[in-house]
Structure 1
Amino acid sequence: MTAAIGAELALAGLFDYLPDVYLYVKDRDGRFVAVSQSLWKLRGYEAESDVLGKTDLDVHPRYLAERYMAEDRQVMESGTPLPNQIWLVPGKPGELKWFISSKKPLKSASGEVIGIAGVMRDLEKAKSVANSFDAFEKVVNYVLRNYELPLRVHDLAAMVHLSVSQFDRRFKALYQMTPQQYILRVRLHAACHAILASQGTIAQIATTCGFYDQSYFTKQFRKHLGVSPTEYRIRYQDSVGQLSDSMGLTPLLPP
C-alpha cells in the first residue's frame, strides 16, 4: 500500500470517536480501503471488513453509485479537493437525510493521484451538537427544508445580514457554486429520489420539488443528469428495489 493511503488509514480510526462524521478512503479504482464505523453501520454492515474491497456499485443503489463515482473521477482527474457538496441519501429505513460531503485526492510522493478520501456530515446532527451553528449552514438548512418554495437569494442574504454580492461571494467560496446553483442542485437531488420512490407524474414531481415550469425542469434535469426525467426513471428501475428496501417504501409501478 502506498504511503499516502497508509497515512489516511492511520488517521481513519480516530473518526470512530466522532459518530456524526462519516469517513471513507478509496483506491484509484474506487475500492474502499477504509471506512469509519459510523459509515459502515449506516449502510447496514456488521464490520468494516464487510465493506473493504467493494466499490460504490456494491454498497449503494446504482442511481447513487454512478453519481458518486463520477464525482470521484472529477476529483481525481482535477487533482483538487471538492468541499461542501450537498447529497440527499437514504439513512436508516424509512428516511432520507441531507449530508455535506467533502473529498480530496490522495497523491503519491511523485504527485500521482492514487486514490481519494472523503468525509460526510449529517446536517441535522451537526446542528444539534453545535452551540454556535455557522450562519451559512443555517441558510443551507433553510434551503433543504424549503426547496419546494420560491427562494430568493436576496432573502437568503438577509438571513446572514449580507448584501447579495457579499453573500454570493462568500457562499461560492464555501460551497464551490453560486447560491442559485446550490438551490438547483438540492431540487434536482430531491427530484431524483421522487422519480424513483413515488408514482407521481413528472409534472407533479417538478412542482413538489420547486420547479414551477415542467419544461424548465426537464431541461435542467437533462443538462445535469444527462437524461430526461422519464429516461432516468426507466434506466434506474433496478435501483427501486434497493431504495425501497433501505427506506421502507412501496416500489414504483412501471411508468
Structure 2
Amino acid sequence: MNTNIGAELALAGLFDYLPDVYLYVKDRDSRFVAVNEALWKLRGFESEADVVGKTDLDLHPRYLAERYMAEDRQVMESGIPLPNQIWLVPSKPGELKWFISSKMPLRSATGEVIGIAGVMRDLEKAKSAATSFDAFQKVVNYVLRNYEQPLRVNELAAMVHLSVSQFDRRFKALYHMTPQQYILRVRLHAACHEILATGGTIAQIATNCGFYDQSYFTKQFRKHLGISPTDYRVRYQESPNTLSDSLGLAPLFPS
C-alpha cells in the first residue's frame, strides 16, 4: 500500500467519532480504499470490508455513479481540490438526500496523484463555524425547495443582505460555481430523476423543474450531460441499475 494512502487510512479512524461526517478514500481507478463507519452504515452494509475494492458503479445507480466518477477524474486530472459541491446521494433504501461533498487529490512522495479523499455531510445537518457558510446555507436550502419556481439572484442576495456582486463573489468562493450555475445544476439534477422516475413528457419535466422553455432545457441538458433528455431516458431505463430498481419511487427531495 502506498504510504500516502496508508496515512489517510490511519486518520480515517478519527472520523468514526463524527457520525455526521462521511469519509472515503479512493485509488486512481476510483475504487474505495477506505470508508468510515458512518458511510458504510449509510449505504446499508455490515462492515467497511463490504465497500473496499468496489467503485460507485457497484454501489449506486449507474446514472449517478458515472457522474460521481467523472468528478473524481476531474479532481485527479487537475490536481485541485473541489470543495462544497452539492450532490443527490442514496441514503437508506427508497431515499435520496442532498449532501455537500468535498474532494481533494492524494499525492505520492514524488507528487504524483494516486487517488482522492473525500468527505460528505448531510446538507440539512451540516453546520459550519464560519458565519458565511451558515448564511449561505439558507440560500442553498431555499433553492433546493423552490427550484421549480422563478429564482432571481437579486432576491437570493437580499436573503443574506448582500449586493448582487458581493453575493456572486462569496457564493463562488464557497461552492466553486456561480449562483446561476448552482440553480441550473439543481434543476438538471431534478430533471434527471424525473426522467427516470416518472412517465412525464420531456416538456412536462422541463416545466416541473423550473425550465420554461423546452428547447432551452434540452440544450442545457445536452451541454452538461452530453446526451439529450430522451436518449438519457432510453439509456438508463435499459440499465439494470436505474432509480426504480435501486431506490423505488420515493420522494426525491427532502420535505
| Alignment correspondent of 1:16 | 16
* Distance (Å, rounded) in 2 between the aligned partners of 1:241 and 1:50: 19
SS at match of 2:148: coil
Distance 1:144 1:239, change over 3 A: farther
SS at match of 2:34: strand
Q: Does 1:97 align with 2:97?
A: yes
Letter in 1 for 2:32: F
Identity %: 85
**Matches for 1:53-68 after TM superposition, within 5 Å:** 53-68=53-68
* Distance (Å, rounded) in 1 between the aligned partners of 2:25 and 2:94: 27
* Distance (Å, rounded) in 2 between the aligned partners of 1:100 and 1:192: 19
Q: Alpha-carbon deviation of 1:198?
A: 1.1
* Distance (Å, rounded) in 1 between the aligned partners of 2:55 and 2:31: 5
**Matches for 1:53-92 after TM superposition, within 5 Å:** 53-92=53-92
Deviates more, 1:182-191 or 1:133-142: 133-142
* Distance (Å, rounded) in 1 between the aligned partners of 2:17 and 2:177: 31
Q: Alpha-carbon deviation of 1:45?
A: 1.1
Deviations 1:203-240 (A, max 9, x none): 11111111111110000000000000010011111446
SS at match of 2:126: helix
* Distance (Å, rounded) in 2 between the aligned partners of 1:184 and 1:203: 17
Q: Alpha-carbon deviation of 1:175?
A: 0.6
Q: Does 1:224 align with 2:219?
A: no
Q: Alpha-carbon deviation of 1:78?
A: 0.2
| Alignment correspondent of 1:30 | 30
Q: Alpha-carbon deviation of 1:95?
A: 2.2
State the Cα RMSD in Å: 2.1
| Alignment correspondent of 1:50 | 50
Q: Alpha-carbon deviation of 1:93?
A: 2.5
Structure 1 residue runs without a partner (length 5+) = 251-255
SS at match of 1:171: helix
Deviations 1:121-176 (A, max 9, x none): 1111225xx99971011111111111111100000100110000000001111111
Distance 1:138 1:33, change over 3 A: same
What TM-score, normalized by structure 1, do the two folds share?
Answer: 0.93
SS at match of 2:188: helix
Q: Alpha-carbon deviation of 1:72?
A: 0.4
* Distance (Å, rounded) in 2 between the aligned partners of 1:11 and 1:101: 18
* Distance (Å, rounded) in 1 between the aligned partners of 2:45 and 2:21: 17
Aligned length: 250
Deviations 1:65-122 (A, max 9, x none): 1111111000000000001111112222232211111100000111100000111111
Structure 2 residue runs without a partner (length 5+) = 251-255
SS at match of 1:126: coil
Letter in 1 for 2:38: S
SS at match of 1:144: helix
* Distance (Å, rounded) in 2 between the aligned partners of 1:244 and 1:147: 23
